Structure 1
Amino acid sequence: MKAMGQCLHFGKSVQDNGYGMFREMLDYKLAWKGKKMVKVDRFFPSSKKCCKCGRVKKELKLSERVYHCVCGNKMDRDCNAAINIREEARRMLTA
């Protein structure tokens, strides 16, 4: 969607519509299978929170691609965030 918005000069509207349409289709497919989508708050600190000990860093630059925690956890920043998002969604389902 990003490339289409840049190359074809459609701008940001294409990007917004693309994600909205994807989410609608995903909601439809999940409902068809008897499942539901869990939406984690967009301000949830998934990148800043350690998936092992739960500590939250005050500051984390986008250029830092490897997450380091004082507990010894060292892993790819995106993998750490994905684990945190999964666990938050599970927590939301059981709450």
Structure 2
Amino acid sequence: MSAPQKRRSPREAGNEVCLGGQLQSITDTSTAAQRQRLLAHLRHDSIDTITARRRLNIMMPAARVKELRDQGHNIATVRISRADTEGRQHNNVALYTLVPGGKQ
């Protein structure tokens, strides 16, 4: 029988995101933690700027992508149109995808 899991408040649950099958806190805003969260997400799926800000708590995704590229990760950028959480349409939103062939 496994140990009972601690119940998390809605606020605590809102500060976590599932990346790579594991819950990770999004409250650490250090650049290293943001890069780690972004790379973990990109290993499984593409992400756009609006979603990275809202879901991963990364306010400047383009800067983190540049840093990951500088580390040797091959990340492609495509421009898309996307609505924000208020329903406002934004053009030229960056959509980032980790491409095989670089550092994984």
Could you tell me the TM-score, scaled by structure 2's length?
Answer: 0.25
Q: Which has the larger radius of gyration?
A: 1
Which structure has the highest strand share of the two?
A: 2
Higher helix share: 1
